[in-house]
Amino acid sequence: MKARICKMKRREFLQRLAYGTAGSLLVSASVASSQKQDTEQQERLPYKIGIRQASLCNPEDPSKRMVANIDTFKVARDIPGITGVELQVIGGHPNMRDLSVACRYKAQAHRWGLNIPSTAGVWDHAVWGPHSGLDLLDSIRATEILGARVMLVAFFGKNAPDMADKQSYGPIISVLRDVAPRAQEVGIVLGLENSLSPKDNRDLVDRIDHPSVKVYYDLDNMYQYGHGKQAVPGIGLLGPARITAVHVKNKGRILQEAWRIDWAAALQALTDINYDGWLVFESKHKNHQECREMTQQNIAFIKEHFRPPPG
């Protein structure tokens, strides 16, 4: 009887051991599966990371930037993680005032599997001069052909309005209100990049009061023009309804290096407002290899600190 009990106990022990091992294996498999799902989910997150055409270096001639170079997309495709290029409408000859040139760029973007999220360099004449409305309309045409959804409208220093003076901001608001309906017709947002504070940008956009006029937010510009302490809080102040795109740069350093902007805090602030637009590098590099290496490090930093909302 005692031997039988011992055998039963041994049998139970072996069964429980087997169950326990199987359970452990199942738990381990479950954890591994969960980790795999987390990794896959992270890879599926809709990261929209681009780079300005002017930030790309020509591999054959590092001293030359890729502005007005049809090989732009081939070079950008060599940087893992980059999925789009911000193009210059005005830059080099021929430029995209020749709409056939815009068509060629669009074809090359498709060939290399890259997006054109935005355009910049939109002024032919003096900013906010007699021809400013026509300049913007012509740039909207080129941007439409390229398939971009954001057109950067830049104005700094003396070209930026005094938001306490209606005579200063009134004409700018008038021009933007005139061209905004045309931009809306073709699915383009005018992204204002300027030297104004986040609060003044909010006031300007709210006064224009059109869904196709928002802010192209550049945190480093905030610092450069005297609004450094407001740069990161400005993300929450403007919110997702007013920010259409974001420039990312750290004055020749990788993002994790301390400089003007706390990029970890900035990316967390973008996560907090559920920002789902493009992050576009506007950086300077000595050559293509440096551009490739630094951009990869910066993309890894972005994915560590920023979580866009699920697509």
One digit per residue, the tens of pLDDT, for the chain of length 311 reads 444 434 444 454 344 434 444 443 433 443 344 334 433 434 456 899 999 999 999 888 877 888 888 999 999 999 999 999 999 999 877 899 999 999 999 999 999 999 999 999 999 999 999 999 999 999 999 999 999 999 999 999 999 999 999 999 999 999 999 999 999 999 999 999 999 999 999 999 999 999 999 999 999 999 999 999 999 999 999 999 999 999 999 988 999 999 999 999 999 999 999 999 999 999 989 999 999 999 999 999 999 999 999 87
**Residues 161 and 118: beta-carbon distance below 8 Å:** no
What is the value of pTM for the model shown?
A: 0.85
Helix segments in the chain, DSSP class H: 2-44, 72-76, 99-111, 132-146, 166-185, 198-208, 219-224, 233-238, 263-272, 288-305
For residue 310, give the DSSP letter.
Answer: P
Side chain identity at 279, as an amino acid letter? L
Extract the runs of DSSP E, i.e. beta strands, from the chain.
49-52, 84-88, 118-120, 150-155, 189-194, 213-218, 243-248, 278-281
